[in-house]
Amino acid sequence: MSDTTTKTLQYRVDGPEDAPVLVLGPSLGTTWHMWDRQIADLSGEWRVLRYDLPGHGGAPAHPAPSIGELADRLLATLDELGIHRFGYAGCSIAGAVGIDLALRHPQRIASLALVAASARFGSADELRRRGVVVRTNGLEPMARSAPETWFTGGFAAAQPAIVEWAVQMVRTTDPGCYIAACEALAAFDARADLGRIGVPTLVLVGSEDHVTGPAEARTLVAGIPDARLALVPGASHLAPVEQPAAVTDLLVGHFAGVAQDTHSAIPVPPAPAVSAPVTPIAEIAPAVPQARPGQAADRDGTHEPGTRIRREVLGDAHVDRVTGGADGFTADFQDLVTRYAWGEIWSREGLDRRTRSIVTLTALVAGGHREELAVHTRAALRNGLTPDEIREILLHTAVYCGLPAANAAFAVAGTVIREETEPGT
């Protein structure tokens, strides 16, 4: 096990030291033990390295803000061990890590297996709302729902010990690291870049997976040039746990052909001077709308960052609704809001987003803007404010904005908080 720091990941190695290396990555909320049922067979031919996500399985709670950061920490861990080239299999969020590695560091991966993975994990709104639920209620709601998410009903009924193991894994995860992982998945979208993955890829999915199921798997296979699909009958999201023999056989068959390739003396390239992720060459920039008569062209560079921040704070659904409904009469106003409020004000570094949410809520209460107050209560939860903190803000406004204004604000905010923080609503 490694001496884990903020730059590396907790890991375990099984198998002969001189064997080719196979790296196995876990799903969100699990630990490296999700691969226990594969180790006996894989470690005979491979040096198997399993890693834990930050804050999972007792690993130090250093949240990773992006999938790219998780990939970088994994590479730093492998570099410390002198591992330059390896096969890689990742489940769910670890599949996203595998996609990132194949795109940014293709010389490191000999072959890739994506298990219960996707090029885009649902919607950003759904993932960020999951973070709000955890921030408000802790991980208990996620722990209680894990069995029905991860396993088929028949398996869960027949294997109560494994179900309890799954629940306990989630309960012992650090909430801050779980929330950060949700945010990282919310920002992950590799759909436009799949064609640049140049390594042999196995896309493995449970036939009953309702999280990242066969439809997402087929998207991966259609986009990755050298990919094949393996559908595992009778398995849900954690197919390696539910159908271990079938998954092991598929992995052995896929990685056997490239075992010797991991021994190739491929030097690790020097680290670039700039540590930020490189923009993919094949990425297609968003279309720039043609300026209408009377509308200024996008010369100040505020529209793109404004749109990004607006979506991160308010959510895709809200932004799509207000901008999609814009017509010739309101389009210029929406453009103004995006550029000025979001591209210039919310993007400034003088205040963090939590503080800006506090200021915004107070101003909206004072102005009596109930509809906007609902929108920004959701934004405040996304930006890290808890329901208790929002309550204190509204109590404070009762003194300075008046009791009637605060009374109306409590009604609006209370409804939003219940909708956003109660699991299953």
User: pLDDT (tens digit, 9 = 90+) per residue, 4-61?
Assistant: 457 999 999 999 999 999 999 999 999 999 999 999 999 999 999 999 999 999 999 9
> What is the pLDDT, as a whole number, of residue 312?
86
Q: Is residue 158 part of a domain?
A: yes
Q: What is the total count of domains within the chain?
A: 2
Helix, strand or coil, per DSSP, at residue 165: helix
In this structure, what CATH number is given to the domain that contains residue 28? 3.40.50.1820
Residue 177 has pLDDT above 90, yes or no: yes
On whether both 311 and 244 belong to a single domain, the answer is no
Picking from 221, 264, 250, the residue whose alpha carbon sits closest to that of residue 89 is 250
259 with 307, same domain: the answer is no
191 lies in a domain?
A: yes
Rounded to whole angstroms, the Cα distance separating 247 from 258 reads 18
**Domain final residue pick, 263, 295, 312:** 263
| Arithmetic mean of pLDDT over the chain | 88
pLDDT of residue 327: 86
118 falls within a domain: yes
Pick from 121, 108, 139: which is nearest to 27 by CA? 121
Provide the 8-state DSSP code for 280. Answer: P
pLDDT band for 301, please (50, 70, 90 cuts).
Answer: confident
Q: pLDDT tens for residues 103-139?
A: 999 999 999 999 999 999 988 889 999 999 999 999 9
Opening angle at CA 122, ends 119 and 126, nearest 5:
145
Asked whether residue 298 is domain-assigned, the answer is no
Determine, yes or no, domain membership for 241: yes
pLDDT given for residue 5 in this prediction: 56
Average pLDDT for 151-160: 94
Burial class (CB in 10 A: 0-12, 13-18, 19+), 317: middle
Q: Are residues 322 and 257 in the same domain?
A: no
pLDDT at 382: 87
Both 329 and 188 in a single domain?
Answer: no
Q: Taking 90 as the threshold, does the pLDDT of residue 396 lie above it?
A: yes
Q: What is the pTM of this model?
A: 0.78
Residue 285 lies in a domain: no
Same domain? For 167 and 38 the reply is yes
Q: What is the pLDDT of residue 105?
A: 97
Residue range(s) defining the domain that contains residue 26: 11-263
Select from 212, 243, 263 the last residue of a domain: 263
